[in-house]
């Protein structure tokens, strides 16, 4: 563990969900004893000043850390049919569905980022479907940062970072429709990186610090706030940090989440 994160990690309550392509009713620990994922809340999370929020979508869009409670429009918070565990996700099925994380001073001053989420894309829709995005202005055409799934290229994982010149990056990795996948994008002031299931995939050079928004822009989850760019499928255990987590920290997040 690096020095900036040392002493800032805490354990929290365990929630479980399965990672295969089963129907929701079968996403339970007792049904899938060899392939169970612990949610991000169950891990030792970097709950330092860098943590913007952790959204577990347990019937609402509240932040588990109590810092950035969000509001939702059209989103279904689904509890899977488990008898011993509460298992939740946010389900998006139209361009009008979205969650909005309100502006805070921490969000406004972000210079770097990490976005991490479990996603289960249903394979439908078109275009660049937003997992998370913060835009620079009300038009929505200029992002500050985001994480996306490109429905036009078979679910390729994409990200953007804007340091004065916006860089749009398409990785070599894709999400498979109907399967849970842990995807991450980070920006550290020099590189925009993408990870899949805890493994670094590829990166592109982006130098500088993130631009600031023209006003108190909120963050869109599962969509843009400013215009329809809706994700199709389930999101679970979304995390946002105002710093780039390291390869080792991201690998740890994923490896700790798999009970073999």
Q: What is the pLDDT of residue 252?
A: 82
In angstroms, the CA 225 to CA 73 distance is: 10
Q: pLDDT digit string (tens) for 96-124?
A: 999 999 999 999 999 999 999 999 999 99
What mean pLDDT is reported for the chain? Answer: 82
Structural domain tally of the chain?
A: 1
Q: Supply the pTM of this predicted model.
A: 0.84
127 falls within a domain? yes
108 falls within a domain? yes
Residue with tokens 């354990």: 11
In angstroms, the CA 157 to CA 193 distance is: 11
4 falls within a domain? no
225 falls within a domain? yes
Q: What is the DSSP string of 125-156?
A: S-SEEEEEEEESSTT--SEEEEEEEEGGGTSE
Residue partners of 105: CB distance under 8 A and separation at least 6: none
Q: Pick from 25, 36, 150: which is nearest to 81 by CA? A: 25
Edge-to-edge strands, sheet with 36-38: 16-18, 36-38, 258-259
Confidence of residue 257 (pLDDT cuts 50, 70, 90): low
Q: 90 in helix, strand or coil?
A: strand
Q: What is the pLDDT of residue 144?
A: 97
3 falls within a domain? no
Q: pLDDT digit string (tens) for 146-166?
A: 999 999 999 999 999 999 999
Burial of 34 (0-12, 13-18, 19+ CB in 10 A): exposed
**Could you give the angle at the alpha carbon of 62 between the alpha carbons of 59 and 66, nearest 5°?**
145
Q: pLDDT digit string (tens) for 27-50?
A: 443 333 333 344 455 444 554 678
Range of the domain at 236: 10-259
User: Which domain CATH number covers 29?
Assistant: 2.60.120.200
156 falls within a domain? yes
16 falls within a domain? yes
Confidence of residue 16 (pLDDT cuts 50, 70, 90): very low
């Amino acid at each position: 563990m690096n020095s900036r994160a040392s002493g800032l990690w805490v354990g929290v309550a365990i929630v479980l969900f399965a990672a295969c392509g089963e129907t929701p009713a079968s996403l339970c620990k007792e049904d899938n004893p060899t392939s169970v994922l612990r949610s991000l809340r169950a891990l030792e999370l970097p709950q330092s000043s860098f943590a913007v929020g952790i959204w577990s979508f347990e019937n609402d869009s509240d932040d588990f850390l109590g810092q950035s409670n969000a509001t939702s429009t059209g989103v279904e918070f689904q509890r899977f049919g488990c008898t011993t565990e509460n298992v939740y996700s946010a389900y998006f099925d139209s361009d009008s569905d979205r969650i909005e994380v309100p502006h805070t001073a921490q969000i406004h001053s972000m210079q770097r980022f990490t976005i991490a989420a479990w996603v289960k894309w249903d394979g439908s829709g078109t275009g660049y479907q937003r997992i998370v995005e913060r835009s620079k202005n009300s038009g929505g055409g200029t992002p500050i940062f985001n994480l996306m799934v490109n429905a036009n290229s078979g679910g390729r994982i994409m990200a953007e970072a804007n340091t004065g010149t916006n860089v749009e990056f398409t990785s070599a990795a894709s999400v498979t429709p109907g399967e849970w996948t842990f995807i991450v994008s980070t920006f550290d002031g020099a590189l925009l990186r993408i990870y899949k299931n805890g493994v670094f995939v590829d990166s592109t050079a982006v130098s500088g610090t993130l631009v600031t928004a023209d006003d108190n822009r909120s963050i869109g989850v599962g969509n843009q706030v400013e215009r329809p760019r809706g994700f199709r499928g389930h999101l679970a255990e979304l995390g946002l940090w105002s710093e780039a987590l390291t390869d080792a920290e991201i690998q740890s997040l994923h490896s700790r989440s798999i009970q073999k």
